[in-house]
Structure 1
Amino acid sequence: MRRPRRRPPVLNTISLSAVRAFEAAARHGSFRAAAAELNLSPSAVSHAVMNLEQALGIVLFERSGRVVRLSPDGERLIKHVGAAFEELRIGIETVTNRGPQLLRLHSAPSFAAQCLTPRLAAFLAAHPDVVVRLAASTDYPHLAADEFDADIVYGPVRGEGVVAVPLGEEVVTPLCAPSLAPSITSAESLLGLVLIQSDRKQVRWPDWFAANGLPAPPGGSGMRFDRSFLAIAAAADGLGVALESTRLAERELASGRLVAPLAGIAQDVRYVGHSLVYPKRGAGRRTLRVFAQWLLAELGEPPLPG
């Protein structure tokens, strides 16, 4: 009979719970936040980390009051520990994939309302083993805290240790209800109309007018909303002309509630507005890859490599 391989002496003195406490504290940058995640007291997390440091004979965190920061040795260790816990998660998911698989998504609100939610029924029908939990807000979630598997971000991507997959080019053009379209025959004809502004939009009316060689009208001459889906709804109700992405307004354009009166006449603005973002260490999750490949296909974008 083959004898079991003996572990190196240092591993015999390390508990998995201590390593888990270290991983959570490193991810959050806080013993208190790690304690809340693990349902422990902050002192219990601190003692677990100190026991790990004693067993390894190194300092893992630089402490200054309640602020903790990984030491150089801690930085090196967390790369392996984080990967190990992710591999463990994937392994458990692999052997238990006969049951429902949870996919935790966060999204920019307008993309969630206009693009994602209308398509979810098709995704769930194609993947009945996946359960989707979707949150939508303008808050930027910390993916390192493991609250979400992925985020659909509008605008610049922040954070380290993440993969950002651009979701393709969007066309931004004036949109209005069909009843207003006959009065809009050129860029200049917009100057006398109610212009609907999305305050959080990266491309705004001054940008569009500049692209068409015209000065923008005074800022107070239109209506303002803080979400694109509200601006789109207002335009569809005939309240004015919205400068919006044809991707976000695809349902309204397809149904005829909105039209693009200057398509092919004026200069549109094109840009990459949204990205699918997820932690590098979570790139191997089956549910995440299934969702990412499906979303890219839905938007007509190239698939993920591999």
Structure 2
Amino acid sequence: MLKMPSLSAMRIFESAARLGSFRSAAEELHLSPSAVSHAVAKLESDLGVALFERTTRHVRLTLAGQTLLAHTASAFEELRRGIERISSNAASLLRLHCAPSYAAKVLSPRLPQFLRENPGVEVRVAASTSYARFVDGLFDADIVYGEPVDRGDLIVVPLGEEIVSPLCAPDVALRLNSPIDLLSQPLIRSDLKRIQWIDWFEANGLGPAPGPSMSFDRSFLAIDAAANGLGVALESNVLAHRELANGQLVRPFGPTFRHNRYIGHYLAYPKSGSQRRLARKFADWLVDFR
């Protein structure tokens, strides 16, 4: 039977392999560099294979070392998740997945207040455009753009109405007396937005919309471009709340023009999830945030 190395030896190896340095691993693990070097050498002797190529200044993983690191890293991640699940601290940890623009423009500015109002709670955030898979236990809640399709095993909370309207920097707004003036200005497109310029032009009876001058795959990039004076973006007042509040962005046209309204973002969490109470608490707070 294969004799398994000790957990401490594998931890030292993982740290040295990940950091690419025995000295850095020693600092991370509060050991001496010689202790790290000796532990790695013993591990190599026990396994009968070289894990590192050593030079006077650097260490580099061998092919065997790369293979072992891949498995070791995933094993430690699984171990961390297991400990996290049974730990007494798990009840105060909310693992949140979030749409990138909402994370950058809405969630990040609001989280400090939530944490102040809920001492002892820890929130971990990961952002991507994909939906969270709750079956693997990585996340407790997900803030998504667009209503989730499969709602059978989920609690879905709408995060409020959003107004989508033209937004631009104040100096650009001075050149926009009526929507017809948009034809002479660079239009900024958010590629993944459900409401596009054609929808706004149609809602206001303005005929076909001109093609955009530039496009971005994230709303927060389109908002930043408009705030920097690069053109006019068609964006959500929720995502652009900070820029509207501090005057970096303005709505160039008055209330006589129709702006698109919709519920853009939702918070979803499992009905039977271990953190459903904390997720519900966070959802209620986010909806009521002022």
Output the TM-score relative to the length of structure 2.
0.67
Measured in 1, the distance between the counterparts of 2:210 and 2:173 equals 22
Measured in 2, the distance between the counterparts of 1:226 and 1:187 equals 25
Give the gaps of 5 or more residues in structure 2.
1-74, 80-84
Q: Which residue of 2 is the match for residue 171 of structure 1?
A: 163
Q: Which residue of 2 is the match for residue 184 of structure 1?
A: 176
Query: Within the alignment, does 1:223 sit opposite 2:222 as a pair?
Result: no
Maintained 8 Å contact 1:283/1:289: no
Q: Which residue of 1 is the match for residue 94 of structure 2?
A: 103
Q: Which residue of 2 is the match for residue 121 of structure 1?
A: 112
Measured in 2, the distance between the counterparts of 1:278 and 1:103 equals 11
CA positional deviation for 1:145: 2.2
Give the gaps of 5 or more residues in structure 1.
1-35, 41-88, 300-306
Letter in 2 for 1:175: L
Partner of 2:278, secondary structure, is helix
Letter in 1 for 2:173: A
Pick from 250, 255, 259: which aligns with 1:259? 250
Letter in 1 for 2:262: Y
Pick from 262, 281, 287: which aligns with 2:278? 287
Measured in 1, the distance between the counterparts of 2:194 and 2:159 equals 16
Maintained 8 Å contact 1:171/1:246: yes
Q: Which residue of 2 is the match for residue 136 of structure 1?
A: 127
Query: Within the alignment, does 1:162 sit opposite 2:180 as a pair?
Result: no
CA positional deviation for 1:245: 0.3
Structure 1 vs Structure 2 CA RMSD: 2.5
Maintained 8 Å contact 1:186/1:265: no
**Deviates most, 249-258 or 182-191:** 182-191
Measured in 1, the distance between the counterparts of 2:195 and 2:185 equals 19
Maintained 8 Å contact 1:173/1:263: no
Measured in 1, the distance between the counterparts of 2:166 and 2:177 equals 12
Query: Within the alignment, does 1:210 sit opposite 2:202 as a pair?
Result: yes
Measured in 1, the distance between the counterparts of 2:261 and 2:162 equals 6
What whole-Å deviation, never above 9, does each CA across 1:222-258 have from its counterpart, x for those lacking one? Answer: 1100000000000000000000001100000000000
Measured in 2, the distance between the counterparts of 1:214 and 1:122 equals 43
Maintained 8 Å contact 1:187/1:212: no
Maintained 8 Å contact 1:195/1:240: yes
Partner of 1:261, secondary structure, is coil
C-alpha change, 1:237 and 1:126, in structure 2 (3 Å) is: same
Measured in 2, the distance between the counterparts of 1:100 and 1:165 equals 21
Letter in 2 for 1:157: P
C-alpha change, 1:38 and 1:100, in structure 2 (3 Å) is: closer
C-alpha change, 1:102 and 1:215, in structure 2 (3 Å) is: same
CA positional deviation for 1:146: 1.8
Letter in 2 for 1:163: I
Measured in 2, the distance between the counterparts of 1:278 and 1:131 equals 17
C-alpha change, 1:180 and 1:265, in structure 2 (3 Å) is: farther
Maintained 8 Å contact 1:236/1:252: yes
Q: How many residues end up aligned between the 2 structures?
A: 211
Identity of aligned residues (%): 55
Output the TM-score relative to the length of structure 1.
0.64
